Chains A and B, each alone.
Chain A
Amino acid sequence: MADKFHDEILNLKCDVVNMARFGRTMLNDSMIALQLQDLEMARGVKGRKVTLQEQHDSLEDRIFTMIALYQPVARDLRTLVCSLMIVQSSERIGRYGKDIANATRHLADTDTTGNFISIPHMSELVVGMIDDATLAYEQENLNTIEDMSKRDDVVDSLRTSIFRECLTYMMEDPRTITRCTHYVMISRFLERSGDHACKMAEKIHYMVTGERTEIK
């Protein structure tokens, strides 16, 4: 019975990794669509929301069932707790991708396309954090998430600077208000996604070492 359970954990982990990459790719693709002003691609991202939700529900259900059936302890329990957390964070991250894809439509008809301030840079950092958290989970190795808190600080300060920059644009020219409001929101979504990467890293640390830690 125990071996069946441990096989199930391995399979679950693979599927959680796939879901984490699915959510991450929704976020990443939404940013590409935004920069390319590709409405078709943005619609594609929005369409993935259903699959994302299905993956979330079915993985969550599997984890609850495994806990109920096997009453795991020690590392097994920590792995399931961490997996649950990653499933939830990945769903949030994917949905932020969908939200950004929604905004693309509003930003496409402005003639100031291409001016995204430091949003693309911010998204690169955040996607990198998600990738490294996912890798750490997959390989149960903390190397890639060691500097998570520093990276999150950079993301936070980018959000603040984007906000201030947008304020000045909006004051100079009220016609930029719609666009800049979207920028502020997008930077907020990215910052939240970075927070999710940090939360994931905390739980991965717990899974691997058994010790709780707080990032930042």
Chain B
Amino acid sequence: MVIHMTECKEIIQVDHVNLWYGDSLALRDVTIGMPDRQVTALIGPSGCGKSTLIRCLNRMNDLVDTCRIQGTVNFHSKNIYASDVDPVDIRRKIGMVFQRPNPFPKSIYENVSYGPRVHGIKERKQLDAIVEKSLKRAALWDEVKDRLHDSAMGLSGGQQQRLCIARTLAVEPEVILMDEPCSALDPIATAKIENLIEELKTEYCVVIVTHNMQQASRVSDYTGFMYMGELAEFGTTRQIFEAPRETLTENYITGRFG
């Protein structure tokens, strides 16, 4: 299966982005597009800027004082760094799931309903419906439907991670960013998340950072290989893992590095 870039609409376009933490340049002239309803994976050695790049996509880097960004990140062709854009609104539309599951120390129900409530939904029935729908989409409903009011901290790691995904889905985002979502999970929980990603991409644009080459090749449609703050190669996942163009990419994915 070969998909050409031109066939897919890019929902996010990163254009000539440079990013500094203080004086040190962490992203160097990065240009990359994330097609809608596809999974884009970012791979590369530790410290190459994967998390920095994925955090650029929903302005999470705003939270770092020393961080300075140049260039544009367009979401539906509008620069999310424009002065009239509300970062909170961006983070609702472009949700993020982190490496370590981080549920609030509250009930499962409250974890999922928190976002919608913050966004002004008060009616119980409506919240119930959102909670059920989100948990179903996150493939967690069957496991928790009888204990929605138990503490989320009592869930297993894999369940907690799916709860975090449900929490992200509850506010109806268009893009889901995942920074190493499986690295704290066992193989069974990992497989569940991978299956879920497959499901999610029918409705969302998914961007995933992973250190696991096999995972990137299993779940993604496109892969970007980053190296020292640059996007060294971008292509269909098939092409990157079957016949990469750059020697750097080849050496990295075949484990001939350093």
Contacts and interface: CB of A to CB of B under 8 A. Distances in A.
Interface SS, A side: helix
A76 B254 contact: yes
Size class of A's contact patch? 10 to 19
Interface in B11-68: none
B252 to A, nearest CB: 10
Given A73-B213, A74-B250, A6 B241 contact: no
Interface of B: 213-214, 217, 241-244, 249-250, 253-257
A44 to B, nearest CB: 42
Contacts of B254: 2, 72-76
A10 to B, nearest CB: 13
Nearest to B256: A2
A196 to B, nearest CB: 24
A210 interface: yes
Contacts, number: 36
A5 B255 contact: yes
Contact of B242 (A2, A5, A71, A74): A74
A214 interface: no
Nearest to A210: B243
B148 to A, nearest CB: 39
Given A210-B242, A211-B243, A1 B214 contact: no
A73 B249 CA distance: 11
A209 B253 CA distance: 17
Closest 7 CB pairs of A and B: A210-B243, A2-B255, A73-B241, A76-B254, A73-B253, A74-B250, A74-B254
B247 to A, nearest CB: 10
Contacts of A78: 242-243
A120 B213 CA distance: 51
A206 to B, nearest CB: 9
A74 B214 CA distance: 12
B86 to A, nearest CB: 42
Contacts of A75: 243, 250, 254
